[in-house]
Amino acid sequence: MTLTREDAVRLDADSPLPSRRELFDLPDGMVYLCGNSLGPLVRSVPDRVADVVRREWGAGLVSSWNAAGWTHLAARVGARLAPLVGVEAADVTVGDSTSVTLFKTFVAAARLRPDRRVIVVERSTFPTDGYVAAGVARTLGLELRWADPADPTASLDEDVAVLALTQVDFRSGALYDVAAVTAAAHEVGAVTVWDLCHSTGAVPVDLTAADADFAVGCTYKYLNGGPGSPAFVWVAPRHQDALEQPVQGWWGHADPFAMSLEFTPAAGVQQMVVGTPPVIALSALEESLTAFEGVAVADLRAASLSLTDLFVALVDERVPSVEVVTPREHARRGSQVALRHDEAYGIVQALIARGVVGDFRSPDIARFGFAPLYNTHVEVFDAVDALVTVLASDEHRAPAYASRLAVT
């Protein structure tokens, strides 16, 4: 049966999560399918940032650490994030980049298993995860073991201290079962670190129910925190007393303003904090998270699956020359769809020229992220329509696309 634009209109009307696009400052007519790279601007963020800069910083100056509650900002942001990943607010903090947070977390995780020598990462992981794991292995004298992405648990044995995985693969959009993989790791006595960059805000994660150990995630994708917004980290309560992260800074001290020479770690997840929090970035992030107010994670997931289902069905029906790389089973699919094509770079660029924004990942993947807060089924229909036109008219072969931009 041929799917029509009217079908898409009907799916939008029946969606469990009506679009909140009006909360976002998206250009009129643009189909933005790149929220899995950089989420759009939430409309209320500029005023909040201006207020923080002018009133809190400009007028309040140093008194704002107390008067404007800057010291509690990271905890407040953590509290807003916590329900999206199924954890208690007190066990989450936010502050450094994802890569730095991964470093601190991998080391802290490995230190929980001092008698073990191996850290396992799968071969198609996001590069930073692999680079940081290699650096940690070198620093701690561990072995880095590369696992098969199809079954990373096959690489587990009694030598493994840490299994570090990204829940949703950044290229293919394939999704791991956090609870099942965590259980397999626990069976051999290893601990898990989950990178939730491509999950949080679009794919439900219940870290508590999954009995997970650690999780790290960025906030500039589906959480729309802004370019380079700080990452979060969660530590299971059962590990917090024994926690030892390697970058001992004064904001992770039990009493920073005691200014003592000796480092005494703060209790709980606060020990993961290192230095002065990025107040402006955290304020922008806190404001951006208001877009999730009143949203049930189950509805986010239902809407996301409905969008990706429609995209896959339309590509199958109308663009059979393109391979859908993303798993079709709901249980194995994140919130993006990856298409494989030898000319994927040109296709992405030609689509962008038509107002349909996705991105390209080397060597041959066109990626399309679906953010249930602002993407609609009609946009999905229009995006595939544009793809059909691009391929039919060879727009992707324009000479301008022969050389690649720095950020693809």
Ligand X SMILES: Cc1ncc(COP(=O)(O)O)c(C=O)c1O
The residues annotated with a catalytic role in the active site are 126, 195, 220-221, 367
Given candidates 91, 122, 195, 382, which one binds ligand X under the rule CB under 6 A? 195
Give the range of 67-75, 96-104, 235-243, 390-398 binding ligand X by CB under 6 A: 96-104
Q: Does residue 215 touch ligand X according to CB under 6 A?
A: no
CB atoms near residue 291 (< 10 Å): 21
**Beta strand pairing status for 214-217 and 232-235?**
antiparallel
Q: Does residue 218 touch ligand X according to CB under 6 A?
A: yes
How far apart are CB 197 and ligand X at their closest, in Å? 4
Count the alpha carbons within 13 Å of 166 in the hemisphere toward its beta carbon. Answer: 27
- State how far the Cα of 141 lies from the Cα of 250, in Å rounded to an integer: 27
Q: Does residue 359 touch ligand X according to CB under 6 A?
A: no
Q: Does residue 124 touch ligand X according to CB under 6 A?
A: no
- State how far the Cα of 7 lies from the Cα of 219, in Å rounded to an integer: 33
CB nearer to ligand X: give 15 or 128: 128
Given candidates 15, 128, 290, 408, which one binds ligand X under the rule CB under 6 A? 128
Q: Does residue 74 touch ligand X according to CB under 6 A?
A: no
How far apart are CB 214 and ligand X at their closest, in Å? 14
CB nearer to ligand X: give 253 or 367: 367
Give the range of 61-69, 97-105, 348-356, 360-368 binding ligand X by CB under 6 A: 97-105
Q: In whole angstroms, what separates CA 229 from the centre of its chain? A: 11
**176 φ, ψ (degrees, to nearest 5):** -90, 155
How far apart are CB 216 and ligand X at their closest, in Å? 8
Q: Does residue 137 touch ligand X according to CB under 6 A?
A: no
How far apart are CB 102 and ligand X at their closest, in Å? 7
- State how far the Cα of 106 lies from the Cα of 244, in Å rounded to an integer: 11
Q: Does residue 336 touch ligand X according to CB under 6 A?
A: no
- State how far the Cα of 178 lies from the Cα of 181, in Å rounded to an integer: 5
CB atoms near residue 256 (< 10 Å): 17
How far apart are CB 314 and ligand X at their closest, in Å? 26
How far apart are CB 175 and ligand X at their closest, in Å? 12
Q: Does residue 23 touch ligand X according to CB under 6 A?
A: no
Given candidates 191, 197, 310, 371, which one binds ligand X under the rule CB under 6 A? 197
Q: Does residue 96 touch ligand X according to CB under 6 A?
A: no
- State how far the Cα of 382 lies from the Cα of 386, in Å rounded to an integer: 6
Q: Does residue 24 touch ligand X according to CB under 6 A?
A: no
- State how far the Cα of 96 lies from the Cα of 277, in Å rounded to an integer: 8
Q: Does residue 99 touch ligand X according to CB under 6 A?
A: yes
- Give the count of residues interacting with ligand X (CB under 6 A): 13
SS3 assignment, position 5: helix
N- to C-terminal Cα distance for the chain? 35
Q: Does residue 234 touch ligand X according to CB under 6 A?
A: no
Closest by CA position to 283, among listed 20, 95, 35: 95
- State how far the Cα of 402 lies from the Cα of 310, in Å rounded to an integer: 31
How far apart are CB 225 and ligand X at their closest, in Å? 11
SS3 assignment, position 302: helix
Q: Does residue 98 touch ligand X according to CB under 6 A?
A: yes
Given candidates 105, 166, 308, 335, which one binds ligand X under the rule CB under 6 A? 166
18: left (phi over 0), alpha (psi -120 to 50) or beta: beta
Query: C-alpha distances in angstroms, 12 versus 7, 16, 201, 372?
Result: 9, 9, 19, 11
Given candidates 12, 56, 129, 309, which one binds ligand X under the rule CB under 6 A? 129
Give the range of 93-101, 263-271, 274-282, 368-376 binding ligand X by CB under 6 A: 93-101
- Where on the chain is the footprint of ligand X (CB under 6 A)? 97-99, 126, 128-129, 166, 170, 195, 197-198, 218, 231
